[in-house]
Structures are given as structure tokens and as C-alpha cells.
Amino acid sequence: MGEIQKYKDLIRQRAADGDLEELATDLLKAAVANNGNWTGLWEGVLARLLELPPDARSRVADGLVTQYHSEQAGPNARQSALILLGIVSRDLPPHDRLTAERLSLLDEISRQHSFWWGARYENLIEAELAAGRPVAPAVVATVRRSALHAYHNDDLPRTAKKLTEPPLNVGEEWAEEALRETGPAWLQLLTHMLTATAAKPSAKWDKQAAALADALGSDRVREAVIRWLALVGHPRTFELERGRYEPDVNSAYDPYNANALRGLAWLLSLLPAHPDTARTLGVLVESSLKKVAGLGPRNPKVANAGVNALARIDSEAALAELARLATRVTYKNTAKLLDAALEARAVALGLSREEIEELAVPAYGLTEVGRAEHRLGEATAVLEVRGTKAVLTWHNASGKPVKTVPAAVRRDHAEELKELKAAVKDIDKMLSAQSERLDRQFLADRTWSYATWRERYLDHPLVGTLARRLLWTVDGTTVGHAEGSLRTLADEPLTEGTEVRLWHPVDHAPAEIVAWRDWLERHQITQPFKQAHREVYLLTDAERTTGTYSNRFAAHVLRQHQFHSLAAARGWRNRLRLAVDDEAPPPSRDLPRWGLRAEYWIEGDGGEDYSDITDSGTFLRLRTDQVRFYPIDAPENWAHCAGGEYRMWLRDGADPVDPLPLAEIPPLVLSEVLRDVDLFVGVASIGNDPTWQDGGADGRFREYWTSYGFGELNQSAETRRLLLDRLIPRLAIADRCTLEGRFLHVKGDRHTYKIHLGSGNILRTPNDQYLCIVPKSNPSAPQAGYLPYEGDRMLAVILSKAMMLADDRKITDPTILSQL
């Protein structure tokens, strides 16, 4: 404080004495004292300086030039000199002071994402403008981005406003493509797009946008906008330097251009409907929600604008796109918007939310289940769904199959060809979205009337390709679709019914489940997701004892970021745990159909000295605890991010709500929830990563890793055991193998080994030395394998290891030999 006053006084003193060159030295000293940060009370110093008459300031400027060139000046002092020079030379006659140096600093700035407003770089720009020189587009871009964060400061935004050329920031492919349109009407349109700063367009904004688009011709505008938006998310045309602790700025959107993107999305919804429009907006939403290191979703604002735009378009294609996105988007805010949009559409049509999603699935030109023929002149195109992919094949005039698109089609039917190819892509995307939606129907516990179900599922041209590969329960009888009709286990056709449900193994006896698996195999049906082979999790004795919680998946160590995205994909709500003093609710999944909420308790683990955290302070790993169930409206539990007890957060004198006894949870719900949790542990646990055998830093996870890799068998490992039991006697190495408990024992010539049936990890007996052998990640060697559907890779790994170890004299791989 006293120091600031000192410099204020000094300015008056030096000016009175005429020691203006010395004043320059003092100012640089001040810059050292305040670290080049002229904000707060230091602003007063600059204000005092600006009160000096022009000729005095001109002499200060000369002094700064001298200081800049003096030998003692370091890089910081030089930078401060350049900025102070910009300030003192404001409205002085143009003068060639340190121009080259300033341009070189600006060039440096142009490679940054943004700078802090307190750095006062706007003075460099002002000096350039005063000299009558245009500012380089890349510099303009940095200044605009920085101005977005200039709190309590008017100078930087004021300078940024003066930079009107180019209308969009350079550096992004889509923007540079848009900037190639140079006509005044296009410029006006782009400028208007940048004013899309609100969450929703106002009537006035719409009116002006529509008028500007009309002037250019709406078809022309739509084509251009769709072309630009297709480039969104491409790598930057020039890279920015990524500062320390800065997110991955090269993968993020330019925040200044993002407003224009929002405007362009809104604009599309004002133009006459077109199939490309819905497609483009859908891609924009997904690409805007892609995650970027240190930032999270790239730009939710743009994603939301895409959803808003789709919601405003009254077309079947737009509704289909909304329904597809609703199954894909996990970012909460956007998911809510999608939900609201679908809900609104449902209300308008007098349907339920589920029904609207069912009706929103378009056929994409398929005329029968999974198939359509299109005649294009002489040639015929056959569009077929095979598995989860759509395939386009061609036949020439005489009906013979041809491998490539006939030349006549390319020539005479370019537009239809383009549309067909787009349909193929749409079908692929929709198939995976629908497959996920069907997978979620287990917990939705839906029933359909037979006629409705046939129309929307079994006989639907697109959904039918999935529904016909699933098992259903019609009035209590399980049926599958084979040879053109619904059939029972005994292959009796079934042609009518009243009520249909999706089949789930938990409701059926093991013998029946196995019989259905055989049935599927016999009819060579590949299921779109695990249904007949779905793992079933039944209540255990341990869980009957603990009563209200399950410890089945407790005490695991998970990779937090992997867990977080898996959880979102399976419909769980979760918050990333940061290594800060904060509390969070546990990951939880709402089950509205059952009035339940499932919780999986976790806590952050940063290591003893918090070294296991990311740059942004997020825990790399989590420790897991119980799984519990509560009534859906029970108050939330909270716990400290770094661990500690979960407590119920009670408001307005409410009573705490007890967890529900596991025995009262419907078996289907318990099974599906525990299946999710098993997936989290199975995928995200550090236990299944062989590089963790040393237990990580200081070996603190060694014990965990060992117990995971060699502990009790889970459901799938038990199945594996049964299969091996059947298989091993048939192998050449049968006399060298024995199955005992959790291990397959293999007698080699050098040693005897045991392979864990759960993890496939190997121990050498008798000393239990760990032997690290892993599947080759990208085998160049010829690989065998025809799989009727994805098999159990772990069993293949175990068998391969057994084959190799039974003949351990023949091993030549030095990475394995060194361990023997």
C-alpha cells in the first residue's frame, strides 16, 4: 500500500523535476514489485501517468526504449517496457518505437490460448492500431478469447471490440471454411451468429437470422452451414502452446467461435426441414460432448444448442435423432434437455415417453425387416442389415451381383446414391442406440400388448433385426424367432398372444436357460447383447447375514476416470472425486419403475502424499465399499471425497431413512444392479492390469492386487471351471493338467504352474512366484478363430497358457524365458 503511494508520488515528483527518463526506470522497478500486474490499486499509478502532458509521456517513452535496450534488462523487464510503452504512447503521434520487438511479442501471444487480462497486453494492440497497422488474425483470436474472461476490466473488451476483422477466429477448420465466403450478406450472417450468447434464441434473434438467410437463399445457406458444421471438432489448423495446468486447448472449441456455432445450430432449425439437418445437428451434439483432458465435455453450450435446434424442428428425422441421442448422451445437463424435448413431443402427441421413443425409430427406407431393394435405372441396390451393420450391395441390369457401384448409377443417380450411403451410416448408428435401449428394458420392466409389440419390435424394419435375435415371453411362454416365425423351445410356432415381456434369465430355471442357449446355437442366432448368456447375481448367504448391504464388491481399487465414464454409460449418477475438502453423494442409479435407488459407496485414494492425483487435482484411484438400496425419495447420503463415513443429509427435521434389506429387493433388480457393479470392478480395477504386480508406488496396492488376481472365483470363473472340466480330458496335455479349487495346475518340464481361473494369472509352485505372461496385443502371427459370437477370451487365454507351460522346454520368447 505504502509502496503504491510511493510510486504515485514519484510520478508527480519526476514530472515536476523533468526527470522523465528516470521515471521510466522507476516504472520498470514498480513492474518488478507488482510482477507486471497493474490491477487493483496499481491502476491508480497508470492513471497518474496518463495525466501527464503528451510531450512528457513522449520522453517517458524514450526512456522506456533506452531501458529496453539496456544490458541489465531481463525478459520480464522488457515485456513490461513494451506494455508501458503502449500505455504512455496512447494518442501520441505515431512513432517507430520498438515496433519489431512488439510484433515479436504479439507473435508469441498468438500461440497462446488466452492471456490474463491483468497482463495488459491490450496496450500492445492499441499501439499497433495507433500505428495504423492491421493486427494478425491469430493475435485477434487470442485477444478475443482472453476478453471473454476479463472480469472487472473494461480495457481489454474495449480493445477486443475494435478488432472486427476477421468476423470469426482463425485456427478452426470450420471457421476458416466459413470465412472463405466474403460477400457482405455472408459477413452479416456470421456477425449475427456471434450474438447467440443466450441459452435460447429470442424471437428477435430468430427473425433477424431468418431474414439474413432469406436474403442469401435458404437452400444455399443450409448447404453451407452443413458443410461448415461437418468440420467442427477437426484438429486445429495451427496448434496452440499448452501451458502448465492448462487443459488440452488444441482439442477444445475456440470459446469465441462457440457462440457462432450455437447460432448456426439455431439457424438450421429455422430453415425448411431436410434430412441432412437432423443428421448434422446430431453429430454436432455428440462431438461437442466429447471429453477433453482437463476440461471435461468440450462444449456443452453448443451441444445444448444442437438439442434445442432439434427440438424445434418438426420432422420425423429430428425426432429420431433426439431419441437416438437420448440413448447415447450421458452428460447430465444435455441429457435433461433431451429428456424434456422428448417429453414435450410425447405430451403433444398424447403418448408416454417410452412410446415416443419406440415410435421415433425410423425405417430408413427398409421395406421389410432388415432389407430393402432400390432400383436406380437398370441397376438394383440391396440394403441389408447383417448383425449390427448395414451393408449395401449392387446388382447390374441382368441381376448379377457386382462389387462396385455401377458407373451409370454414379452418373445418373448421384443424389440417390448419396442418400443411400447416408442411410447406411444412419442405420449403423441407430442399431447400436436401439441395442442399448433394449438392454435397458430389463430394468424398465416393460410389457407390451402383442399387436403393438409386433408392430414396434418384431416386425419393425429396423428394430426387428434386433428383436428377432432376442428371447421374449408371450403370456408366460418363452419364444424366439427362427425360420420365419416365433417358436417355442420345442420349435412349435406361436402366432398370437396378448402380453409380451423381454425375457430375463433370473426368472428361469438353470436347465431352461441352458436349453435356450442351445436353441440359439442350433438356429445360429447371434444375440445383439448378452441375454441368454447374461450373468445372474443371486443373493448370497453373506448378504443375508449383512442384511442391508452387500460387501461383494467392496475393497477394490478402481481407476476413477474409467469408472466414471462406465458408470455414466450404465445410467449411474456420479461425481468425480477431487482431492479437495468437499463432500459428494455416492454413485447411484435411480430405478423409478421399482421406487428404488441403488448406491455404490466409494472414496478417493490419493496415496499418502497425494501424489496419485491429476494436474487438475482429481483422484486417479478410488476405493470401493458397500452396495446398498434405498427408497428412491430417501434423503441423499454424502461423504467426504477423500473418505470417511457416508451420512444422510437431512433437511427440515426429516428422519433418516434406513437402507432396505437386500432380501426385499426384486431378484431381477438385485441381479442387474450387481451386474453393473461387477462390470465396474471387472473393467476399472487395477487388479486386472498385469503391470501392477509390484503394487504401484511403495507397493501399497500389492496385497490388493494379489488377492484380486488369485482370490475367490466369481460367477464367470465358475462357468469357466465347468467348461475346462469337460474340455481338458480331450486335450493332448490332459495328463499334465489337474483342476483344483481356483486353479488349473499344469505340470511342465521345468516347473509346475498354477493358473488362476478368474484372472488367468500364473504362479509357479511351490514358492508361488508370479509369472507374467500376457496375450500379445497385436499379433502378426496367423490367428485362428471363428466365433459364433464373442467367446470367453479369458478361457482362451488360460488354455493357451496351459498349452505353452505344459511344454515349457519349447518356449523361445526371451521375455518369458527370463522368468523361468
Partner 1 sequence: MGIVMFVDETTSGSRSDGWGLEIAEERLAVRELIRRRVFQEVAEYNARTPAVFQGLVQPEDTERVLNGYALRTPRRIDPEAQTELALRAFAGNGFLVLVGDRQVTELDEEIDLVLGTEVTFLKLVPLVGG
Q: Which residues bind partner 1 (CB under 8 A)?
A: 386-388, 391, 403, 517, 521-522, 524, 526, 533, 690-691, 719, 723, 726-727, 729-733, 772-776, 779, 781-793, 795-797, 799-801, 803-804, 813-819
Q: Which is nearer to partner 1, 131 or 731 (CB)?
A: 731
Tell the smallest beta-carbon distance from residue 527 to partner 1 (Å): 11
Cα–Cα distance between 669 and 537 in angstroms, integer? 10
Cα-based angle 555, 559, 564 (whole degrees, multiple of 5): 105
Cα–Cα distance between 444 and 427 in angstroms, integer? 24
Cell of 546: 449383512
Cα–Cα distance between 752 and 768 in angstroms, integer? 10
Amino acid at 253: Y
Tell the smallest beta-carbon distance from residue 689 to partner 1 (Å): 10
Q: Which is nearer to partner 1, 180 or 386 (CB)?
A: 386
DSSP one-letter code for 458? I
Q: Which is nearer to partner 1, 568 or 713 (CB)?
A: 713
* Distances from the Cα of 358 to the Cα of 158, 320, 349, 431, angstroms: 52, 10, 13, 13
Tell the smallest beta-carbon distance from residue 316 to partner 1 (Å): 30
Cα–Cα distance between 13 and 1 in angstroms, integer? 19
Cα–Cα distance between 371 and 43 in angstroms, integer? 72
According to DSSP, the β-strands at 499-502 and 296-297 are: unpaired
Bridge partners, 618 (sequence order) = 578
Cα–Cα distance between 359 and 371 in angstroms, integer? 19
Give phi and psi for 712, each to the nearest 5.
Answer: -60, 155
Tell the smallest beta-carbon distance from residue 542 to partner 1 (Å): 28
Q: Which is nearer to partner 1, 414 or 723 (CB)?
A: 723
Tell the smallest beta-carbon distance from residue 391 to partner 1 (Å): 6
Give phi and psi for 817, each to the nearest 5.
Answer: -55, -40
Tell the smallest beta-carbon distance from residue 512 to partner 1 (Å): 17
Tell the smallest beta-carbon distance from residue 776 to partner 1 (Å): 4
Report the Cα–Cα distance between both ends of the chain, in Å, rounded.
72
Q: Which is nearer to partner 1, 484 or 814 (CB)?
A: 814
Q: Which is nearer to partner 1, 482 or 639 (CB)?
A: 482
Cα–Cα distance between 277 and 264 in angstroms, integer? 11
Give phi and psi for 377, each to the nearest 5.
Answer: 65, -125
Q: Which is nearer to partner 1, 495 or 691 (CB)?
A: 691
Tell the smallest beta-carbon distance from residue 379 to partner 1 (Å): 17
**Is-contact 313 280, C-beta < 8 A?**
no
Q: Which is nearer to partner 1, 608 or 790 (CB)?
A: 790
Cα–Cα distance between 791 and 795 in angstroms, integer? 9
Q: Which is nearer to partner 1, 240 or 470 (CB)?
A: 470
Cα–Cα distance between 189 and 182 in angstroms, integer? 11
Amino acid at 41: L
| Closest listed residue to residue 99, CA positions, set 130, 123, 128, 69 | 128
Which H helix or E strand runs over 660?
none
**Residue bearing cell 431419441:** 323
Tell the smallest beta-carbon distance from residue 790 to partner 1 (Å): 6
| Closest listed residue to residue 752, CA positions, set 766, 773, 740 | 766
Q: Which is nearer to partner 1, 450 or 789 (CB)?
A: 789
Tell the smallest beta-carbon distance from residue 809 to partner 1 (Å): 14
Cα–Cα distance between 784 and 796 in angstroms, integer? 11
**Residue bearing cell 511351490:** 766
Q: Which is nearer to partner 1, 127 or 799 (CB)?
A: 799
Which H helix or E strand runs over 237?
none
Q: Which is nearer to partner 1, 509 or 787 (CB)?
A: 787
Tell the smallest beta-carbon distance from residue 567 to partner 1 (Å): 26
What CA dihedral angle connects 105, 108, 110 and 116, to 10 degrees? Answer: -80
Tell the smallest beta-carbon distance from residue 717 to partner 1 (Å): 13
Tell the smallest beta-carbon distance from residue 397 to partner 1 (Å): 20
Cα–Cα distance between 204 and 310 in angstroms, integer? 20
Cell of 339: 429428456
Q: Which is nearer to partner 1, 152 or 730 (CB)?
A: 730
